[in-house]
Amino acid sequence: DANDTEKGLYPHYMLKEIDEQPSVMRKIISTYTAENGSVAIDEHLVEKIAKSDRIYVVACGTSWHAGLVGKKMIEELANIPVEVHLASEIGYDMPLLSERPFFIFISQSGETADSRQVLVKVNELNLPSLTITNVKGSTLSREAENTLLLHAGPEIAVASTKAYTSQIAVMLYLAKAIGDYKNLKLAKSFDIAHELGLVASAMDTLVSEKDKLAEISRDYLLTTRNAFYIGRGLDYAVSLEGALKLKEISYIQTEGFAAGELKHGTIALIEKDTPVLAIITGEDTASHTRGNVKEVESRGAKTMVIAMEGLQKEGDQIIIPELHALLTPLATVVPLQLISYFACLQRDLDVDKPRNLAKSVTVE
Ligand code: G6P
């Protein structure tokens, strides 16, 4: 049960929270779908955002990574340009704002000080805002004009998992609601409950592949000092999140890179057996990323591919069931979470409480 704060039979909260993701997706579908099938988000909020000319997403850490995915969804379904900012940067260095900006704060805890200092400034400027958070009544929720809740249940492990996927799902509902409000064709024809239902089923399959993922983790990560995750577009966004997940609990230096940027510098770091994990779900970019995999392979890298059904090639280690192109991050991140979990266990480290990190950071 996602609302349980006990581990139950689970050895770690992180594993429990990874496993809860399919049911959290289903909970979001039932909460955000109205009886007539439309999106259950307050129409005043939807109208306000629809009338803005640019959305500024502000967040930290994993929530910032979710924002990168949300940007794509909002731009595609709602046709409003989106900028995604790190709270600790934008707060001290405001970009030139558009005429009718709208601010969206993404925060699992709703308590992150870096994000809050930006919201204080946004309120001083009298600009409209929304907080997307897991915690009702949290500081960011109270101080923003509007709130949307994640309904993910308490997330206790420091490494965020179900909050990431629920943030993306809630932003998808928001994007769909705005697009519907504006009568946009792409949004109207997007059957969100159906597509997210497919995601939940794909997650069910992926979380059942633990043995295989533990083996992959042992094979690729047990003794390495570093690792690289690559992808393009949304796969790049997930590379960043996958790399963060691995580094924060296994202490393996892991970086996510835009696959095409490798050749402009990072490829110099590839040595014999350096793990390079590629995510391939984009039809238009698959062959380019395949090319990057070959390039690092020929320099000694030990490569691994997560591919979506239909784009897979013989030898790919992990196959993601076919999903709507906007929703692949919700599935590709799951094996990456599990690989990180097992890498941490295999190194005998503290899964739920990694060194030097806090679940919620209340200092700037
Ligand atoms: C901390 C946590 C991260 C989280 C970040 C933002 O650094 O360790 O897991 O992504 O804060 O937290 P928030 O609650 O604002 O999403």
| pLDDT for position 163 | 98
Residue 64 alpha carbon, nearest atom of ligand 1: 10
What confidence score (pLDDT) does residue 362 get?
A: 87
Q: What is the pLDDT along the chain (364 residues), one digit of tens a residue?
A: 777 788 889 999 999 999 999 999 999 999 999 999 999 999 999 999 999 999 999 999 999 999 999 999 999 999 999 999 999 999 999 999 999 999 999 999 999 999 999 999 999 999 999 999 999 999 999 999 999 999 999 999 999 999 999 999 999 999 999 999 999 999 999 999 999 999 999 999 999 999 999 999 999 999 999 999 999 999 999 999 999 999 999 999 999 999 999 999 989 999 999 999 999 999 999 999 999 999 999 999 999 999 999 999 999 999 999 999 999 999 999 999 999 999 999 999 999 999 999 998 988 9
- The whole-number pLDDT of residue 4 equals 79
Tokens 């409000």 -> residue: 181
Percent of the chain whose pLDDT exceeds 90? 96
Q: How far apart are CA 255 and CA 276, in angstroms?
A: 10
User: Which among 317, 232, 334 has a CA at the least distance from the CA of 275?
Assistant: 317
Distance (angstroms) between ligand 1 centre and the Cα of 327 equals 22
CA 338 to centroid of ligand 1, rounded, Å = 19
Model confidence, pTM = 0.98
Per-residue pLDDT at 3? 79
Q: Determine the straight-line distance between the first and last CA of the chain, rounded to whole angstroms.
A: 34
Q: Which protein residue has the closest C-alpha to ligand 1 atom 4?
A: 61
Q: The tokens of 118 are what? A: 């930006």
Task: State pLDDT tens for residues 249-308.
Answer: 999 999 999 999 999 998 999 999 999 999 999 999 999 999 999 999 999 999 999 999
- How much is the pLDDT for 5? 82
Q: How far apart are CA 80 and CA 71, in angstroms?
A: 9
Per residue, the 3-state secondary structure of 47-99, as one string, reads HHHHCCCEEEEEECHHHHHHHHHHHHHHHHHHCCCEEEEEHHHHCCCCCCCCC
* Confidence at residue 6, expressed as pLDDT on a 0 to 100 scale: 85
Give the three-class secondary structure for 227.
strand
> What's the confidence (pLDDT) of residue 105?
98
Residue 176 appears among annotated catalytic residues: no
CB atoms within 10 A of CB 123: 15
CA 158 → CA 17, 76, 112, 313, 316, distances in Å?
Answer: 11, 32, 14, 35, 31
Handedness of CA 2, 199, 62, 256 (dihedral sign): positive
Pocket test for ligand 1, best of 114, 244, 361, 363 (most atoms within 8 A of CB): 361
